[in-house]
Amino acid sequence: MDSDEARRPEGPPQPRDSVLRAHRAPRGREDRTGYLRLDLGESARPASPRVLQALQQLAPEDLSRYPDNSSLVNRLARLHEVEPGRVMVTAGSDEAIRWAFNAFVEEGSRVAIPRPTFGAFLTAAEVAGAFVERADYLDDLSFPIEEFQKLLAPRTPRMVALANPNAPTGTSLPEDTVLGFAHGSPATLFLVNESFASYQGHSLLDRKELPSNLLVLRSFSKDYGLAGLRVGYLVGDPEVISALQVVRPSHTVSAAALRAASVALSERDAMLAHVHEMRSIMERLVNRLESRSIQAQTTAANFVLVKLSSPIQPWAAAFAAHKVLVGTWGHVGPMAAYIRVTVNSEEESARFLDTLDLVLRQGIPGATRVEGVPGEWTDLGSEGMA
């Protein structure tokens, strides 16, 4: 063996240390074919049937040419009564989050993120090599305002990442509180994911003026029901958007996705009716669970929290054995006994209840063999929703 072979490392080249150490956001079960999918907050269908009709009318040139997002940008600007230079279209929320961290977070800088929350925040922060500080949601699943404030002043994090409403807790933080944070730490970029905002009925984007250090993220996945097309957008100060344009790749949102999102925006009444219907189904599901003496609660998102017993993973496995997927990512500490159940239709709610009744009759195999205790937020291996 020559000296070059002796020095040759085994295996492929290794990625950056920050990538090796980074949190891996949950992606859900690998093969979800044939399951009732109540785990990721997905909609069973687009809010408007016109979206599918528009996709069926795509022309050959729509597929052969690079997509142009200017029409959707202008539509979004008119919707939120801002200049087009304040809007950026993205391939879903995950891409938008990664761009924001790429543009504004240097290695070793401080980032503040509550726990638990949308898993993509932590992944992006750790891949960037940031020093991440956390404040834990309280036992009643409300936001830790006082503890979080300590992460902002007198210190100044490079970025704060918030989901409002939050997942997996399903709770909401008043916009005035978010604005107070932003005004009190003007050198910090506040990235606020409002993917569930339509379900709570209000948004930071309802305000006429927002501070220049506030960047709002919205998605077409939850309310418009277009998760499969991957469309989201950011609204912020023109200089912030301009910085993001430097790191964004070209043409990441397909022509089909842009067409679907544009049609969806013209069908906002259908979207709002869809959200109203989902909230009604959510309330009826909670009532049926409570009639079974099972504690449940509606949320500011599109899912119900159902309290069973901890640890919750054996319950999720029992549901999966009956081809029903429920959400449990990040469910430790105060959430250790809860599952998340997405609402979509009365038929899906009925199937979930039938499966729950069956699981309760059969018992939870393996529950007594699960080691450990409910744990603390600090025990999280993965958190939030995919």
Low-confidence ranges of the chain (pLDDT < 50): 366-374, 377, 379-380, 386
**CA separation for the pair 303, 300 (Å, rounded):** 8
Q: Measure Cα distances from 288 to 304, 323, 344 in Å.
A: 12, 21, 16
**CA separation for the pair 331, 106 (Å, rounded):** 31
Residue that has been written with the tokens 């809860």 in this structure = 338
The answer regarding whether domain 50-267 maps to CATH 3.40.640.10 reads: yes
What is the per-residue pLDDT for 31? 75
What is the per-residue pLDDT for 312? 86
What is the per-residue pLDDT for 28? 61
9-38 pLDDT tens trace = 677 887 877 777 666 665 666 777 889 999
The answer regarding whether domain 3-44+270-379 maps to CATH 3.90.1150.10 reads: yes
N-terminal to C-terminal alpha carbon distance within the chain = 48
Pairing of strands 131-136, 110-115: parallel
What is the per-residue pLDDT for 103? 96
110-115 sheet: strands from edge to edge? 87-90, 232-235, 214-219, 189-193, 159-163, 110-115, 131-136
Q: Measure Cα distances from 62 to 210, 232, 254 in Å.
A: 36, 20, 9
Pairing of strands 131-136, 36-38: unpaired
What is the per-residue pLDDT for 13? 83
| Residues written for the chain | 386
What's the pTM value of the predicted model, to 2 decimals?
Answer: 0.90
What is the per-residue pLDDT for 7? 62
Under 8 Å CB-to-CB from 228, ≥6 apart: which residues?
none
Q: Which part of the chain has CATH 3.40.640.10?
A: 50-267
User: Which value, to the nearest 10 degrees, does the dihedral of the CA atoms of residues 298, 302, 308, 314 take?
Assistant: -170
**CA separation for the pair 42, 286 (Å, rounded):** 19
- Supply the Cα-derived Rg of the chain in whole angstroms: 22
Q: Which part of the chain has CATH 3.90.1150.10?
A: 3-44+270-379
3-state secondary structure of 191: strand
What is the per-residue pLDDT for 25? 63
